[in-house]
Amino acid sequence: MTFGGSVVSFSELQQHNKPDDCWISLYGHVYDVSEFLKQHPGGARRILKYAGNDATKGFGMTHSERYMERYLQKDWYKGEVELAPEKISKEAGKRKKIADKEPKRKDKKRSTFKETFKEKGKTVEKPKLGYILSLGDFEAVAMNVLPEEIRAYISSGSDDEITVRENRKALGRIFFRPRCLVDVSRNTIDTNILGQHSKLPFLISPIAGSEMVSQEGDISISKVAGEHGIIPVIPKNDSSSISNSDQPVFYQYSFDTEEAIIRAPEIVSNIQRKYPNIKALFVSVDNDCAGNLEKLRKYESKVGKDPQGLQPGDINRPSYAPTWRDLLRLKTSTDIPIILKGLQREEDIVKAARLGFDGALISNHGGRQVDCSRSSIEILYNAKKQMKEKNVSADGFELFVEGGFRRGSDIVKALCLGAKPALGRSILYSGVYGEAGVNKALYIMEQDINRVMKLLGANSVSDLNEDFLDCESLNFKATLTDQLYNENYMPLPGPKGRRGN
């Protein structure tokens, strides 16, 4: 996008501060985003709190600058804002001066974070990558070096974040029953996922916030995943460099409006044209409204305060949530396998199998939707039991599960229960080291899974089953302490007032 031309005074910018007339300033550039409010994945409220003002810091907290080129149309650009030091952020003014001296080059790569990070006057150095031994170590580094607002965005769960912690604790309530005196010298961990060969027995979930951790975001994660023989799951509205290639991909999509679900066959056809080798479509079904990310909003208030005070989550986003009938129509309109992402009841999983869907991804959205939901691994265990009791065949119906996975042992537990696991946040944190970090994270998991399977006496993923597990404690909410996880946990803050004299 070419900048320059007319100058918008700050007083004029301030006049456009309503939902039907909403202007914002980003890095010194002014846009009319009135039309974009309904399309914004995070809801209109997040933009409206900056209406008629500078949104640079709030935008930069969750997006890289390339999002501007992707989402903001050329005819929305109104001009360059006339700097008002008291109103326009120092960051916006600084970036505008740099832009005046050096024109923006699309081919120039810019790293979001350096080897050292400054926050609150302190300099934090990342340890060398060679000192990282687990995915928990990546999380510990990320919690030290990322800005506070970004840490809050990535780590937040809904309400009191009970489900966030329960996802992790439940995995610790499942124990192994190793077999001994088994020849495991030819052990392998590759498998098939939805008919596609995968060198590693898990997926990498679409991850919100990847571009806050690494400049390349989802692009670098998809690239490294492909190099490790993992089929990437491309997120909705992605900017992946692997479109129109021969690489097999899965795609994740959410239908947020009634118009979108009506146009579902057309939307899927467009996805197929962009990704001709798409092998499955993961459709989100757990977004009836936004979860109450209380911790995130409390930290957001430090960036740009809502003049009306902090508000609960937006219960009117999205404007429409699909039903069983809608997704059955979608299923009959395409040959692409449909996986329902976000089911949380055993009965719904059984129903999906009986209706002929191709699979289900059991997920509580990382604890970001309904707090006090059960852990994903517990739902998986009970769903498998119910499918057996009701004689529901698993042939042609694949189960996936995400939530809390940090170790190779967690992956193997899910595989024993008959589901392919998906990693999300734990891979995202490795992005603080860029592509090298993601590569190291996947190497750690590969070694971890191999080690656990050998110690269990399993030669292949197909050997794994419930006989290797003791799940008697799973449904009892006893708590086992995961010290590293507890140290990494970012607590929910309380409101802070000024201390009196």
Q: Which amino acid is at 204?
A: I
Query: 213-245: string of b/e by CB count within 10 Å (b at 16+)?
Result: bbbbbbbbbbbbbbebebbbbbbbebbbebeee
CA distances from 284 to 235, 257, 343, 352 (A): 11, 13, 9, 14
Q: What is the mean pLDDT of residues 30-48?
A: 80
Task: Tell me whether strands 203-204 and 17-18 are parallel, antiparallel or unpaired.
Answer: unpaired
Cα–Cα distance between 153 and 486 in angstroms, integer?
18
Out of 3.40.309.10, 3.20.20.70, 3.10.120.10, 3.90.1150.10, the CATH code matching 7-101 is 3.10.120.10
Cα–Cα distance between 432 and 443 in angstroms, integer?
16
Residue of 16, 29, 63, 365 marked catalytic: 365
Place of tokens 């979860």: 291
Read off the pLDDT of residues 271-304 as tens digits, 9 standing for 90 and up: 999 889 999 999 999 888 888 888 888 877 665 5
DSSP string, 288-352: SS----HHHHHHHTTTS--TT------TT-SS----HHHHHHHHHT-SS-EEEEEE--HHHHHHH
Q: Which of 449, 415, 432, 427 is nearest to 233 (CA)?
A: 427
Beta-bridge mates of residue 27: none
Q: What is the mean pLDDT of residues 25-47?
A: 81
Read off the pLDDT of residues 309-341 as tens digits, 9 standing for 90 and up: 445 555 556 567 899 999 999 999 999 999 999
- Residue 42 has a pLDDT of 63
Residue 343 — φ and ψ, nearest 5°? -70, 140
CA distances from 49 to 83, 310, 372 (A): 20, 11, 30
Is the per-residue pLDDT at 112 higher than 60?
Answer: no
- Residue 486 has a pLDDT of 77
Q: Which residue has the higher pLDDT, 115 or 15?
A: 15
**3-state DSSP call for residue 373?**
coil
- Residue 416 has a pLDDT of 98
How sure is the predictor about 123, in pLDDT bands with cuts at 50, 70 and 90? low
Is the per-residue pLDDT at 28 higher than 80?
Answer: yes
- Residue 56 has a pLDDT of 84
How sure is the predictor about 151, in pLDDT bands with cuts at 50, 70 and 90? confident
- Residue 494 has a pLDDT of 53
**3-state DSSP call for residue 280?**
strand
- Residue 114 has a pLDDT of 39
CA angle 159, 162, 165 (to 5 degrees): 130
Give the global pTM: 0.78
pLDDT winner (highest mean) among 131-145, 227-241, 264-278, 454-468: 454-468
Read off the pLDDT of residues 164-183 as tens digits, 9 standing for 90 and up: 999 999 999 999 999 999 99
Cα–Cα distance between 395 and 418 in angstroms, integer?
12
Q: What is the mean pLDDT of residues 116-133?
A: 70
DSSP string, 209-225: THHHH-TTTHHHHHHHH
How sure is the predictor about 72, in pLDDT bands with cuts at 50, 70 and 90? confident
Is the per-residue pLDDT at 107 higher than 60?
Answer: no
Mean pLDDT of the chain, nearest integer: 82
7-101 and 162-488: identical CATH topology: no
- Residue 289 has a pLDDT of 80
CATH architecture of 162-488: Alpha-Beta Barrel (3.20)
- Residue 314 has a pLDDT of 57
Place of tokens 């309503």: 18
Is the per-residue pLDDT at 126 higher than 70?
Answer: yes
- Residue 99 has a pLDDT of 45
Neighbours of 91 (CB within 10 A): 14
**Dihedral angle of Cα 343, 348, 354, 355, to the nearest 10 degrees:** -70
Q: What is the mean pLDDT of residues 51-69?
A: 75
Is the per-residue pLDDT at 249 higher than 80?
Answer: yes
Q: What is the mean pLDDT of residues 47-61?
A: 81
DSSP 8-class letter at 205? -
Neighbours of 179 (CB within 10 A): 13
Cα–Cα distance between 54 and 77 in angstroms, integer?
14
Read off the pLDDT of residues 192-227 as tens digits, 9 standing for 90 and up: 999 999 999 999 987 766 777 766 667 778 888 888
Q: What is the mean pLDDT of residues 240-252?
A: 73
Catalytic residue at 228? no
pLDDT winner (highest mean) among 93-97, 104-108, 475-479, 492-496: 475-479
How sure is the predictor about 500, in pLDDT bands with cuts at 50, 70 and 90? very low
Q: Which residue has the higher pLDDT, 260 or 458?
A: 458
Task: Tell me whether strands 338-343 and 398-402 are parallel, antiparallel or unpaired.
Answer: unpaired
Lowest-confidence region among 17-21, 184-188, 459-463: 17-21
Read off the pLDDT of residues 434-464 as tens digits, 9 standing for 90 and up: 899 999 999 999 999 999 999 999 999 999 9
Query: Domain extents for the chain?
Result: 7-101, 162-488
- Residue 5 has a pLDDT of 62
Cα–Cα distance between 295 and 333 in angstroms, integer?
41
Q: Which residue has the higher pLDDT, 403 or 99?
A: 403
pLDDT winner (highest mean) among 108-117, 123-132, 362-371, 482-491: 362-371
